[in-house]
Every structure is written in structure tokens, then in C-alpha cells.
């Protein structure tokens, strides 16, 4: 089969002919119909974040059709549309058994530790295949597997309750899902903080109140918009020291700041003024859980989560086109999302 692989760190991906994967008794073979190009894939190509070995097929945001199933597979049948949970876990360790499988001691990620979706076929354990409703496109199914599910998990970690207020720091792919999901979960008011007018405009279309951090201090503005209280939940998806600090500073009494963005330096908190006095919390959020994914598919099917404005481009399974999409992701961040449709 055809695969576009990382052969050498720091070099463009290459189109290669590789053997189609074989399946074990509990695996499914999936014909890939959509594979998202994620910002982490750029880190793998750069070498900023390591992959298991070279050559390696990248891609962890995958949707497709079941082509073949192992003899012990009961949860899916041949011909079913599916999207794939990217974390392959043991199901047996302490973390798997307590429902926190993202910490599985043997956890392996598609496209990082295992070959991923920049190919025609992939083999995965059948339990990683999540049914994809007919109304949801393969492209959207693929995108749900990473950015949307990260946002979903983050809002759950923030224990958002109906009637509360939310501030989302960063209105890119992750943020746009966070805004819509916060509203679907019953948030009374969602504030979107960014510096790009086009992103803020889109955030506003999805029902958020835009806060342009290049024109005004977002903390002051959030206080003003919430009658001086601050927000109950702040979600930071950018990964900057400054915006992480602003997220904490924007909290109301008993507020929760959820950290999703990956920063390369520590951030500072006034522990007395910002945490103790408010009984505020800073919460880390990592990846997502398998059981959260069917709920996301259903939210898209019901029209409560719209990804049509987030995915802006599709490319074929072509090394040149994929490298160009990665180059632009590297330069401009996640404003434009590209999905490979083999």
C-alpha cells in the first residue's frame, strides 16, 4: 500500500510503498478515508518530539471504513464507518482499570509509537474503533479524535456546570470546539480571548463574546464582562506563560483554570491572592478517554458541534501536498486545518 512516511528527522516526508498491515484476532483493518494533519505531526517531523523509530507513518486523527476484522471481533462489522481512538492501551494496568487509560503504563499512540494514518490502511485493536454516524463526514470524524476531544476532556476536568461562565484562551481549532462544547454543556456566557480578528469573528459566530487581547487587557475585560466576578472556568489552549497566568487571574471565587496548552516555561501564580483567597483551582488536562468519543460524534450528529468552519482544506495522500500543509502549520499555527483524504 501507499504510505507517506517520516524517513529522516528534519526532512520532508516521503511517499513509500509498504506492506499493508496484518491483523490479529482482536484487530480491525481500516481503509483510511481521512487523516488530519496535526500540529504535533510537525513536531515529530522536526524532531522536537520523538517517534518510535524510522521510517514511521505519522497521523493520529483517523477515520475510515472497516475492511477486515479478526475472528474475535464483535463490536464492529465489515463496511462500518469508524473513527479511531489514537491511544492503544493494555486494558489491564492500574490506570486502565480505574478509567484513566491515558496514563496506561503500556500506552502507545497511533502515528507516534505505532504507524498512523498517512496511509491507505491501518490495523488497530477493535476496541479503538468508534462508530461514526452517517451524518458525520470522515474529515470531521478524524478531527474529533484530537482537538475536539481534548477540548471536551478539558471542560470535563474543569467540572463546568450549567449556568456557569467560561473563558477560552485561544480561538483556534481547539478553542472553537471548546466554545461550542461549553455552550452545549449549558454555559451561560462564553468569552473567547485571542489576538486574531478573524478567529474572534468566528468565535462570535459560534456564540462567544470576543475579547481582543491585542487591544485590551483580557483580565480586566473579562472582569468587566462578568460584572466584576470573573469566570467559573478558564480553559487555556495556547500554551503561553502569559495566557496561562491570565487564565488564573480571570477566575471567579471557586473558579477552575484548566491548562491544555503546552508551554516550555513555568508560569507564576500569586498563591494567596489568586488561589487561597478564592479557593480557586488550577487543573491539568491530558488527552481524552475512549468513552468520551462516541459522545462527541453524537454532538456533531445533533449539530451542537460544527466543524465546518474549522476544517478548511483537504489534500490527497501525496507527499508534496502533505509537506506543504505541514510547512504552513509550522509557520502560522493551527488557523488552517488540513485533512488528508486518500
Residues that bind Zn ion in the complex, under the rule CB under 5 A:
38, 89-90, 93, 96, 104, 146
Q: How far is the CB of 178 from Zn ion (least distance, A)?
A: 15
Partnered with residue 222 across adjacent β-strands are none
Q: How far is the CB of 193 from Zn ion (least distance, A)?
A: 22
Identify whether the C-beta of residue 172 lies closer than 8 Å to the C-beta of residue 334: yes
Q: How far is the CB of 103 from Zn ion (least distance, A)?
A: 8
CB nearer to Zn ion: pick between 38 and 129: 38
**Which residues in the chain belong to E strands, given as ranges?**
2-6, 14-17, 27-37, 56-57, 61-69, 81-84, 87-88, 108-109, 121-125, 129-131, 165-169, 189-194, 209-212, 231-236, 251-259, 281-284, 311-315, 337-340
- Report the distance separating Cα 287 and Cα 313, nearest Å: 24
CB nearer to Zn ion: pick between 110 and 247: 110
- Rounded to 5°, angle at Cα 109 from 103 and 113: 115
- Going by C-alpha positions, the residue among 122, 86, 151 that lies closest to residue 307 is 151
Q: How far is the CB of 104 from Zn ion (least distance, A)?
A: 3
Q: How far is the CB of 92 from Zn ion (least distance, A)?
A: 6
Identify whether the C-beta of residue 279 lies closer than 8 Å to the C-beta of residue 146: no
CB nearer to Zn ion: pick between 38 and 280: 38
CB nearer to Zn ion: pick between 286 and 302: 286
Q: How far is the CB of 89 from Zn ion (least distance, A)?
A: 5
CB nearer to Zn ion: pick between 212 and 330: 330
CB nearer to Zn ion: pick between 245 and 287: 287
End-to-end distance of the chain based on CA atoms, in angstroms?
11
Q: Three-class SS of residue 236? A: strand
Residue 238 grid cell: 495556547
Amino acid at each position: 500500500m501507499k504510505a507517506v512516511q517520516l524517513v529522516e528527522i528534519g526532512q520532508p516526508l516521503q511517499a513509500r510503498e509498504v506492506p499493508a498491515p496484518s491483523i490479529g484476532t482482536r484487530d480491525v483493518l481500516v481503509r483510511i478515508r481521512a487523516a488530519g494533519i496535526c500540529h504535533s505531526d510537525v513536531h515529530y517531523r522536526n524532531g522536537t518530539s520523538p517517534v518510535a523509530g524510522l521510517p514511521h507513518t505519522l497521523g493520529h486523527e483517523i477515520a475510515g471504513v472497516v475492511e477486515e476484522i479478526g475472528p474475535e471481533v464483535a463490536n464492529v462489522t465489515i463496511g462500518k464507518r469508524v473513527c479511531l481512538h489514537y491511544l492503544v492501551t493494555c486494558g489491564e494496568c492500574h490506570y486502565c482499570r480505574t478509567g484513566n487509560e491515558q496514563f496506561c503504563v503500556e500506552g502507545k499512540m497511533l502515528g507516534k509509537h505505532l504507524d498512523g494514518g498517512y496511509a491507505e490502511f491501518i490495523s488497530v485493536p477493535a476496541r479503538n474503533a468508534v462508530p461514526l454516524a452517517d451524518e458525520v463526514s470522515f474529515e470531521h470524524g478524524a478531527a474529533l479524535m484530537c482537538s475536539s476531544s481534548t477540548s471536551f476532556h478539558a471542560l470535563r476536568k474543569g467540572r463546568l456546570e450549567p449556568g456557569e461562565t467560561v473563558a477560552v484562551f485561544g480561538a483556534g481549532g481547539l478553542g472553537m470546539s471548546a466554545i461550542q462544547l461549553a455552550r452545549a454543556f449549558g454555559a451561560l456566557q462564553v468569552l473567547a480571548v485571542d489576538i486574531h480578528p478573524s478567529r474572534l469573528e468566528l468565535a462570535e459566530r459560534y456564540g462567544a463574546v470576543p475579547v481582543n487581547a491585542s487591544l485590551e487587557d483580557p483580565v480586566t475585560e473579562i472582569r468587566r464582562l462578568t460584572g466584576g466576578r470573573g469566570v467559573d472556568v478558564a480553559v487555556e489552549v495556547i500554551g503561553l506563560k502569559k495566557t496561562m497566568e491570565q487564565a488564573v487571574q480571570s477566575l471567579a471565587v471557586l473558579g477552575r483554570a484548566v491548562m491544555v496548552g503546552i508551554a516550555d516555561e513555568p508560569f507564576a501564580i500569586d498563591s494567596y491572592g489568586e488561589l487561597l483567597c478564592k479557593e480557586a483551582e488550577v487543573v491539568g488536562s491530558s488527552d481524552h478517554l475512549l468513552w468520551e468519543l462516541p459522545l462527541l460524534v453524537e454532538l456533531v450528529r445533533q449539530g451542537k458541534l460544527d466543524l465546518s468552519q474549522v476544517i478548511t482544506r483537504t489534500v490527497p495522500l501525496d507527499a508534496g501536498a502533505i509537506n506543504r500543509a505541514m510547512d504552513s502549520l509550522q509557520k502560522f499555527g493551527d488557523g488552517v486545518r488540513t485533512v488528508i483524504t486518500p
